[in-house]
Structure 1
Amino acid sequence: MLNVGLIGFGLAGRAFHAPLIAATPALRLAAVVTSRAQEVAALYPEARAVASVDALLADPAIDLVVVATPNDTHAPLARAALEAGKHVVVDKPFALSVEDARELAVLAVTHARMLTVFHNRRWDTDFRTVEHLLRDGTLGEVHLAELRWDRFRPAIKQGWRETPHAGAGLLADLGPHLIDQAIRLFGVPEAVSADIAIQREAAQVDDYFELTLHYGSRRVILGAASLVAAPRPRFALHGTLGSFVKYGIDPQEPVLRAGGTPSDPGYGVEPESAWGTLFDGEAGERRLRSAAGIWPRFYEQAAAAIVEGSAPPVEPEDAIAGLELLELARQSACEGRRLRFPRR
């Protein structure tokens, strides 16, 4: 069993990482760097609270370090963990710059350590359903795809995500997920054009974005906004044989945030009322059962990568490509023009 040290016990650490680590037979949540020692003790009695990152990294019993902290600390903490000889999981975004991300990837190879990025949305119900549709050719040749993540949050939430500094804003928060999903489905684009804005009166960081990825005649649109009370489809794909439209967000997050676990009955399974609709040009329309959401698969694959030497759940190169697109999108929005994406 691999001993895991978790850095951070805020939303990401408490609701996303800790429950998934605890649900993975090959992993043991051994230590958490946090000031919330009582909360850790109540939820995970076998894990000890550690006062500092240095103390965690100096512990030879810790095999895997998980970085679940504010965005601007991801790269420095991952670097320190790799230099301490630990395997590393970094929450998204991988880093705040492509340069830092590439440096981390090289460092992992140098130290012969597993490095991966927590793009858990690859195991969402809706995304897995769309993957199956594209793999089976159900929609034919897809010429338009829209991936959106809308919210209705007129009030500004307290916390670092909405405070002006590096790594804040909606694009840094949801952009990495949407970009990673688009690359998984369609590969890297030929070009990108972007619009990024601050729409809420009291907001100080971007709270709206619309990215268009160009693949020849195909367009893949990624969008998120904070003032949408009637959400647009989460996925809308239109091809030569039909369309697929899906509303709503994957159900795994609310279960974990409410204190549930992946072992709860019905975890990751959507009710029929949440299924998407498949529109066939000839046969009409029908509801399509959603594939099961399986976030636990991420840590299962991370453990296997360490123990067996198999591929990590998310290759660092994939996350780097996503960061390259993110940087290019910011430049496109600033300059008001379409920019070509470097081919790999």
Structure 2
Amino acid sequence: MKQSDLRGQFRPTRRDIIKGGLGLAAGALALPVLSMPALAQSKPERLFVADGGSILRDAYTKAYYEPFEKETGIKIVPQAYMGAAEVKAIVDNKAWGQADVVLTATADASVIEHQNLAEKLDYGMIDRADFFDSMATDAWFMTLVAGSCLAWNTEVYPGEKAPKSWADFFKKASSIKGRRTLQKAATLTMDIAALGDGVPKDKLYPLDLDRAIASLDRIRDDLVWWTSGSQSQQNMVSGEADMGFLWNGRAQQLKDQGKPIDFTFQDAVLDGDAFIIPKGHPNKKWAQKLADIVAQGKNQAKLTESLPYGPANKSGVALVAPERLAKTPTGPENRKITVLQDFNWWAQNGEKAMKRFTEWTNG
């Protein structure tokens, strides 16, 4: 949920280190092929896992890596975040020393599957039916669910003056005071902008790019961009912006710190991270074992103890304390008022959407 968090062009990241995914996927960066004889052994000493780093890595370590290490004796060695481009380079070059497993943006995971760059997962080991709709496919499943939420400064918009929806956020400056902050990336921002133009949640896809651009046009002069989760928080805390798109974990963190920030899950667009094994990887047997650990509801619930991102499966949700679950995107009441990003649509249409967004931002 880049940041060194809590997410570039393709995927707005909760992590400060995240790179763009879709735009690079077609022309992947060349990665060196590392000589790793140990990778061919039946049981390696370690698995290399790419993740988002920082406090997200800390949460992954407690929830997923430590149980795997305890059960198998194999050490997890975290690597820097990788998107679709990096996975393509790994597979094309058989650069297996780069990563055995990639925990990447779900939109990137969909690109990776669409390009046939991922191993099929062994659902004999994993209960696929336990996952919520569209949160697991043949090649990936979600490791957490994050919400792209509308947040505001409670001193500027107290009580009933608070914005209620993205339609409020995208009103002309003459209708609402204050500057607004959005992530400077097509995915999620374009989805949110379409909602702000009045597109109903259940009609959001296929995404109407014209309506998304129309929304952005209305507030062009009042926009402050961010490119990392930490910058989104800074824009709000400093007063640079009075309303903004923040990931729910970032907004909740500010609220918990006593900052004058509140947020709503109303019409939040949900995305998150997903588990991918690069296609053809010689360590796929042990990567599949890690997949089994990560897919277990008890471990997905444990991650929620560290960060207010939701489990992607029913058994995980059932194990989270109700008061904590209410702060996550997959809490029952929050799921009713949010919309899951259509990852397959972005895999197939993302380049076109990104081109429109880049042309608009440069115009």
TM surpasses 0.5: no
What's the TM-score bracket when you normalise by the shorter of the two chains? 0.3 to 0.5
TM-score when normalising by structure 1: 0.35
Q: Which has the higher helix share?
A: 2
